[in-house]
């Protein structure tokens, strides 16, 4: 592709750069920098610009520090205030190609993570005719702490603002705004499930992919308020935007650390205290309640699943089952009982790489296969020197087919109560009926 492509957006033109199988546009603002009076406000449109904005480097990230030593995914922290930005990878910029679109939401326990990770590069999706958008959003206190004088679930509002930007602008990048699928992993998978349960997100996407989705449990409104009370009790700082607005990032992170300490004064609160919660307005009901008992998002095709051992290196199979496998299987079961289009998988390929995860299908191991990026930075440390390309080919092709056709194809039928067909991602992928029967009967009877 010759030169640096320029595409017009509703806020101003952006200049991208050639990239594998197409072009990429990095760090495009979808909302104004959340600073000053906007730090804890709902996202607002950025100031328009006239000259082409260079979109050739990843924009600032909400992550100011990584999730800690031992993190599987390389996720850079980029300084700067304009954290509400997104990246577009496309094989057909500036054309009317009307390609299907995948919007990717990163994980990181809602307090970390970065859309600038090399594991989220969209080159393989461009190769296969899909436009990929990855986005940043407010994390931790700024994104999810209940404040008496600010809107709740600001991170969720950021996701919705980014999806609205996609609806208004993606056609100029060769995408079809009527063919948008949202996807994410871990907290990003929880974001996908949250969007399914959020009325304000209706009509912004037509399909959903939730990999190893995790949510705060319990998630009722009282939890958000109890976390705010705990914050003030522990830190001495009022849980208000007025008190927090002008604090430095370092001070915010220090307060966040204090809030999250595992002391005995929070027995009724979940392990994760900064995450989406049912505020009764933007998010009317707890997400799992809505997905298993309600109607919001029920008609949209959903592909979901988990790795076999997720967090076994940290807390054993009990933690893995509690946080990931049991709630996601409950969603699949409930949707199947009502005939809603659902596909279930379990990623079982065990990593041969040295370290605590050796021999396990651990949390995040599936991502380089899903993105077909086995040569990306950090993959050998997680998956060994020769991970099976056949598995990446199959898993990635299923996601591409789902984004394109709302069906993963490849003889992978829906998950139904009659059969419970489940895709097992192994060195040689296979389809098995009801492979989780023992767990299902133990958990749900």
CA nearest 109: which of 183, 41, 211, 189? 189
CB 52 within 8 A of CB 13: yes
What's the CA gap between 350 and 72, in Å, rounded? 15
What's the CA gap between 18 and 279, in Å, rounded? 43
Q: 149 in the Ramachandran plot: left (φ > 0), alpha (ψ -120 to 50) or beta?
A: alpha
In the three-class reduction of DSSP (H, G, I as helix; E, B as strand; rest coil), residue 381 is classed as helix
Phi, psi for residue 436 in degrees, rounded to 5: -105, 25
DSSP label at residue 170: G
Q: Sheet holding 13-15: strands in order across?
A: 6-8, 13-15, 53-54
Contacts of 119 (CB under 8 A, 6+ apart): 73, 74, 367, 368, 371, 373, 376, 378, 379
In the three-class reduction of DSSP (H, G, I as helix; E, B as strand; rest coil), residue 84 is classed as coil
Helix (H) or strand (E) holding 131: strand 131-135
What's the CA gap between 166 and 354, in Å, rounded? 41
Tell the residue number behind the tokens 């009502």, with chain if given. 338
What's the CA gap between 255 and 243, in Å, rounded? 12
Q: Active-site residue numbers?
A: 186, 310, 363
Structure token digits, residue 56? 């050739």
CB 220 within 8 A of CB 288: no
What's the CA gap between 85 and 28, in Å, rounded? 5
What's the CA gap between 236 and 244, in Å, rounded? 12
């Amino acid at each position: 592709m010759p030169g640096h492509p320029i595409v017009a957006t509703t806020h101003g033109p952006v200049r991208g750069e050639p990239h594998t199988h197409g072009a990429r546009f990095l760090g495009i603002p979808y909302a104004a920098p959340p600073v000053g009076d906007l730090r804890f406000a709902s996202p607002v449109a950025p100031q328009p610009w006239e000259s082409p904005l260079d979109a050739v480097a990843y924009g600032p990230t909400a992550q100011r520090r990584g999730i800690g030593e031992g993190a599987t995914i390389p996720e850079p922290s980029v300084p700067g205030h304009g954290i509400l930005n997104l990246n577009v990878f496309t094989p057909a910029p500036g054309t009317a190609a009307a390609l299907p679109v995948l919007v990717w939401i990163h994980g990181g326990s809602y307090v970390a993570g970065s859309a600038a990770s090399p594991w989220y590069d969209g080159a393989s999706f461009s190769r296969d005719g899909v436009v990929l958008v990855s986005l940043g959003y407010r994390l931790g206190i700024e994104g999810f702490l209940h404040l008496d004088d600010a809107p709740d679930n600001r991170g969720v509002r950021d996701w919705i603002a980014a999806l609205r930007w996609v609806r208004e602008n993606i056609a100029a990048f060769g995408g079809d705004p009527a063919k948008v699928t949202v996807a994410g992993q871990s907290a990003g998978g929880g974001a996908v499930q949250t969007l399914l349960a959020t009325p304000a997100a209706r009509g912004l996407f037509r399909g959903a992919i939730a990999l190893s989705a995790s949510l705060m449990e319990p998630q009722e409104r009282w939890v958000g308020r109890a976390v705010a009370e705990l914050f003030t009790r522990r830190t001495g700082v009022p849980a208000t935007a007025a008190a927090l607005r002008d604090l430095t990032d370092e001070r915010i992170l220090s307060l966040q650390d204090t809030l999250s300490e595992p002391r005995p004064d929070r027995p009724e609160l979940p392990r994760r205290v900064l995450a989406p919660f049912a505020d009764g307005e933007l998010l009317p009901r707890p997400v799992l309640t809505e997905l298993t008992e309600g109607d919001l998002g029920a008609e949209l095709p959903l592909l979901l699943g988990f790795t076999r051992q997720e967090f076994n290196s940290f807390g054993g199979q009990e933690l893995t089952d509690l946080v990931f496998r049991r709630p996601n299987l409950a969603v699949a079961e409930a949707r199947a009982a009502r005939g809603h289009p659902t596909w279930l998988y379990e990623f079982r390929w065990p990593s041969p790489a040295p370290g605590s995860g050796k021999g396990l299908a651990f949390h995040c191991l599936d991502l380089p296969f899903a993105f077909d990026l086995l040569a990306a930075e950090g993959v050998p440390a997680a998956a060994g020197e020769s991970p099976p390309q056949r598995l990446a080919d199959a898993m990635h092709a299923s996601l591409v087919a789902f984004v394109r056709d709302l069906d993963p194809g490849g003889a992978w039928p829906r998950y139904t109560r009659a059969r419970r067909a489940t895709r097992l991602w192994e060195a040689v992928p296979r389809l098995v009926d009801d492979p989780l029967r023992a767990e299902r009967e133990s958990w749900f009877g």
